[in-house]
C-alpha cells in the first residue's frame, strides 16, 4: 500500500494487477485442475449502440503493449498472498507469467460493427483469462471515443475539431486515450500536451478567461499575448463583452499587420454562438481582416455543431471537450470477451440475451462500387464470399510478440479517413440510419444453430 499522499497511478510495473479478482481466482483453479490448454476468446461489442451508425477500431496498440509487458512483480505477488485466497502453486506460476498467445484484430482506424470480433485471443486458458479485464477496459473506452469523435468530425463538415477534454475526462489515462482515439477519428489534435509528447499528436491551445483577467484590461492582455506568441495567438474574446472583445482583437490585428504579422484567430466560448460569431466575422471582414479565424467552444457536441452550421454560424474550427471526451450521450461501450473455442471444440454461451457465436472467425467486408455493401462473419478457415472483399481481421501477435513493424497513428487516421469515404452515404451522418447489414456465413449460422440445440438440450 502506497504512502500518503498517493497518486494511485497504473504503471507498467503494476499493470498485471489491473484485473478483476475473479480472473485470478479462476486462473488459480484452472492451474490446479490442469485446465490450461489453448482457448480462444472473442472481444466484440454485443449490441447496437444508440446513435452510432458505425464503430471505429481504436486501442489495439495499447492492448499489444500490455500483452508484451504484463508481469507480476514481487510486490504484486506478496499482496496476492496476503489475501489468503491463492495456492502457492499459482503464486509461483505468476512469478514467470508472460503472455505467449496469438492475437487477431481489426486494425485501428477501421470501421466495424457490433458482433464482429474486434480482437480474438488464442492462448493457454489462464493467460487468455487474466488479460480480459485490461483488454475490455482499453478497447471499450478507445472504441467509444473514436466512434463519438467520428460523429463530431462528420458534423463539422471539414472544419477542424480539437480535443479540449482533459479537464472532464475520467482520470489521467482517459485524457491520454481520448486524445489518441479522437485523433485517429479525424480530430486535428488535442490540448493535452502529454498526449502530444507520447503519441506525436499536434497540440493546440488558446487562452483562458483568467489570463484576460490577470491584466488590467482586455486590450492589454491581448497585446501581451500577441507579442509573446506572434504566430500562434488565438484570443479569447468573451471574458467581458464579446463584440467589444472582437474590437480589441481587431486593434491587435492592426498593430500586428503593421509589423507584417497576422493575428491567427479568436475564440468565443459563451453566449449565442451563431449571433456572436456572425457579428464578430462582420467586424473583421468590414475592417479588412477576413482571414482572422473564429474558433467556437463551450459544451459542444455533434448536434450542436450541426445546428450552429445550419443556422449560419461563422466557424473555422471547434474546440470540443466534455461531450466528446466522455461520449456523453453513450458513456460506455458494451464490449464483452467470450470463450468461443477450446480443447473441447467450439463453445457458445446460452444466457438470456447474451448469446455468442462459436469458433475462430474472420469478417469479410464485401464492397460494391467501392462502397461497403455488407459484412459477413465467417469461420476463419472459410473461403471469402464472392465478389470484391477484404478481410477485417489480421494476425497482430504471435507467441506473445507483435507481428510486423507497428503502425504510426497517422496511418490509422488515414485508414479511418479512407474507410469513411467508403461508408454508404446513409450511414455517413449523425442521424440514425438503418443498421448496416452484418450477416453470418451459412456455415457459421448452421454451426451456431446446431450448437444452441445441443447446449439447450444438455
Considering only residues 182-201, where is the footprint of a copy of itself by CB under 8 A?
191-200
Give the max Cα distance, the chain: 85
Residue with smaller CB distance to a copy of itself, 53 or 138: 138
Residue with smaller CB distance to a copy of itself, 299 or 431: 299
Determine the angle formed by the axes of helices 172-184 and 409-422, rounding to 10 degrees.
50
Binding track over 39-78 against a copy of itself, x by CB under 8 A: x-x-------------------xx-xxx-xx-----xx--
Candidate residues 47, 87, 157, 286; the one interacting with a copy of itself per rule CB under 8 A? 87
- Within 8 A by CB and 6+ apart from 395, the residues are 102, 103, 104, 403
How many Å apart are CA 228 and CA 280, to the nearest integer? 24
Q: Are 375 and 439 in contact (CB under 8 A)?
A: yes
Candidate residues 20, 255, 307, 316; the one interacting with a copy of itself per rule CB under 8 A? 20
Q: Least distance in Å: CB of 109 to a copy of itself?
A: 15
Q: Least distance in Å: CB of 425 to a copy of itself?
A: 31
Helices (H), 229-272: 242-258
Determine, following the binding rule CB under 8 A, whether residue 174 of this chain makes contact with a copy of itself.
Answer: yes
Determine, following the binding rule CB under 8 A, whether residue 326 of this chain makes contact with a copy of itself.
Answer: yes
Instruction: Please tell me whether the peptide bond between 5 and the residue prior to it is cis, using omega within 30 degrees of 0.
Output: yes
Binding track over 270-299 against a copy of itself, x by CB under 8 A: xx----------------------------
Q: Least distance in Å: CB of 380 to a copy of itself?
A: 20
How many Å apart are CA 422 and CA 53, to the nearest integer? 14
How many Å apart are CA 197 and CA 186, to the nearest integer? 18
Determine, following the binding rule CB under 8 A, whether residue 120 of this chain makes contact with a copy of itself.
Answer: no
Q: Least distance in Å: CB of 187 to a copy of itself?
A: 14
From the list 393, 419, 332, 365, the residue with the least C-alpha distance to 150 is 419
Q: Are 222 and 249 in contact (CB under 8 A)?
A: yes
Q: Least distance in Å: CB of 214 to a copy of itself?
A: 6
Determine, following the binding rule CB under 8 A, whether residue 261 of this chain makes contact with a copy of itself.
Answer: no
Q: Least distance in Å: CB of 43 to a copy of itself?
A: 10
Determine, following the binding rule CB under 8 A, whether residue 342 of this chain makes contact with a copy of itself.
Answer: yes
Binding track over 382-421 against a copy of itself, x by CB under 8 A: --------------------x--xxxx-------------
Stretch that binds a copy of itself, among 95-103, 252-260, 301-309, 350-358 (CB under 8 A): 350-358
How many Å apart are CA 208 and CA 167, to the nearest integer? 13
Determine, following the binding rule CB under 8 A, whether residue 32 of this chain makes contact with a copy of itself.
Answer: yes
Q: Are 340 and 40 in contact (CB under 8 A)?
A: yes
Determine, following the binding rule CB under 8 A, whether residue 7 of this chain makes contact with a copy of itself.
Answer: yes
Beta bridge partners of 163: 190, 320
DSSP at 185: T
According to CB under 8 A, which residues from 136 to 165 bind a copy of itself? 136-138, 140-141, 164
Stretch that binds a copy of itself, among 14-22, 46-54, 364-372, 420-428 (CB under 8 A): 14-22
Q: Are 18 and 105 in contact (CB under 8 A)?
A: no
Candidate residues 132, 302, 314, 375; the one interacting with a copy of itself per rule CB under 8 A? 132
Determine, following the binding rule CB under 8 A, whether residue 177 of this chain makes contact with a copy of itself.
Answer: yes
Q: Least distance in Å: CB of 314 to a copy of itself?
A: 19
Determine, following the binding rule CB under 8 A, whether residue 172 of this chain makes contact with a copy of itself.
Answer: yes
Q: Are 43 and 118 in contact (CB under 8 A)?
A: yes
- Within 8 A by CB and 6+ apart from 435, the residues are 48, 113
Determine, following the binding rule CB under 8 A, whether residue 180 of this chain makes contact with a copy of itself.
Answer: yes
Secondary structure element (H or E) that encloses residue 211, with its range: helix 209-213
Q: Least distance in Å: CB of 358 to a copy of itself?
A: 11
Determine, following the binding rule CB under 8 A, whether residue 448 of this chain makes contact with a copy of itself.
Answer: no
Stretch that binds a copy of itself, among 30-38, 44-52, 416-424, 429-437 (CB under 8 A): 30-38
Residue with smaller CB distance to a copy of itself, 186 or 335: 335
Candidate residues 35, 403, 423, 433; the one interacting with a copy of itself per rule CB under 8 A? 35
CB atoms within 10 A of CB 452: 14
Q: Measured between alpha carbons, how far is residue 44 from residues 333, 390, 412 in Å?
A: 10, 19, 20
Determine, following the binding rule CB under 8 A, whether residue 255 of this chain makes contact with a copy of itself.
Answer: no
Q: Are 298 and 272 in contact (CB under 8 A)?
A: no
Determine, following the binding rule CB under 8 A, whether residue 310 of this chain makes contact with a copy of itself.
Answer: no
Cell of 96: 514467470
Stretch that binds a copy of itself, among 13-21, 383-391, 425-433, 446-454 (CB under 8 A): 13-21
Q: Are 234 and 262 in contact (CB under 8 A)?
A: no
CA dihedral 106, 110, 114, 115 (to 10 degrees): -20
Amino acid at each position: 500500500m502506497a504512502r500518503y499522499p498517493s497518486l494511485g497511478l497504473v504503471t507498467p510495473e503494476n499493470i498485471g494487477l489491473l484485473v478483476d479478482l475473479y480472473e485470478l481466482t479462476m486462473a488459480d483453479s484452472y492451474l490446479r485442475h490442469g485446465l490450461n490448454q489453448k482457448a480462444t476468446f472473442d472481444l466484440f461489442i454485443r449490441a447496437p449502440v444508440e446513435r452510432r451508425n458505425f464503430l471505429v477500431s481504436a486501442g489495439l496498440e495499447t492492448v499489444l503493449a500490455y500483452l508484451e509487458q504484463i508481469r507480476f512483480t514481487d510486490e504484486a505477488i506478496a499482496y496476492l498472498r496476503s489475501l489468503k485466497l491463492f495456492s502457492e502453486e499459482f503464486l509461483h506460476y505468476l512469478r514467470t507469467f508472460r503472455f505467449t498467445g496469438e492475437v487477431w484484430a481489426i486494425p485501428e482506424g477501421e470501421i466495424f460493427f457490433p458482433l464482429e470480433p474486434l480482437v480474438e485471443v488464442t492462448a493457454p486458458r489462464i493467460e487468455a483469462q487474466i488479460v480480459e479485464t485490461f483488454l475490455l477496459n482499453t478497447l471499450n473506452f478507445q472504441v467509444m471515443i473514436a466512434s463519438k469523435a467520428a460523429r463530431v468530425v462528420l458534423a463539422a463538415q471539414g472544419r477542424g475539431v480539437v480535443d479540449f477534454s482533459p479537464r472532464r475526462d475520467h482520470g489521467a489515462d482517459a485524457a491520454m486515450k481520448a486524445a489518441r482515439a479522437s485523433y485517429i477519428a479525424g480530430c486535428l489534435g488535442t490540448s493535452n500536451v502529454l498526449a502530444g509528447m507520447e503519441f506525436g499528436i499536434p497540440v493546440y491551445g488558446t487562452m483562458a478567461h483568467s489570463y484576460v483577467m490577470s491584466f488590467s484590461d482586455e486590450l492589454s492582455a491581448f497585446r501581451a499575448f500577441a507579442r509573446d506568441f506572434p504566430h500562434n495567438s488565438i484570443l479569447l474574446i468573451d471574458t467581458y463583452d464579446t463584440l467589444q472583445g472582437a474590437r480589441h482583437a481587431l486593434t491587435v490585428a492592426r498593430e500586428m499587420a503593421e509589423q507584417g504579422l497576422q493575428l491567427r484567430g479568436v475564440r468565443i466560448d459563451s453566449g449565442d454562438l451563431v449571433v456572436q460569431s456572425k457579428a464578430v466575422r462582420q467586424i473583421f471582414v468590414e475592417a479588412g481582416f477576413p482571414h482572422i479565424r473564429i474558433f467556437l467552444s463551450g459544451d459542444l457536441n455533434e448536434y450542436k455543431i450541426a445546428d450552429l452550421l445550419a443556422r449560419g454560424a461563422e466557424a473555422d474550427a471547434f474546440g470540443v471537450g466534455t461531450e466528446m471526451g466522455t461520449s456523453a450521450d453513450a458513456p460506455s461501450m458494451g464490449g464483452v470477451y467470450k470463450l468461443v473455442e477450446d480443447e473441447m471444440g467450439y463453445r457458445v454461451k446460452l444466457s438470456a440475451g447474451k448469446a455468442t457465436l462459436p469458433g475462430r472467425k474472420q469478417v469479410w467486408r464485401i464492397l460494391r462500387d467501392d462502397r461497403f455493401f455488407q459484412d459477413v462473419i465467417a469461420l476463419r478457415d472459410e473461403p471469402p464470399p464472392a465478389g470484391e472483399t477484404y478481410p477485417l481481421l489480421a494476425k497482430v501477435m504471435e507467441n506473445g510478440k507483435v507481428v510486423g513493424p507497428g503502425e504510426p497513428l497517422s496511418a490509422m487516421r488515414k485508414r479511418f479517413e479512407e474507410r469513411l469515404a467508403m461508408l454508404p452515404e446513409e450511414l455517413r451522418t449523425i442521424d440514425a440510419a438503418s443498421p448496416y447489414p452484418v450477416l453470418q456465413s451459412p456455415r457459421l449460422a448452421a454451426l451456431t444453430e446446431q450448437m444452441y440445440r445441443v447446449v439447450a438440450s444438455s
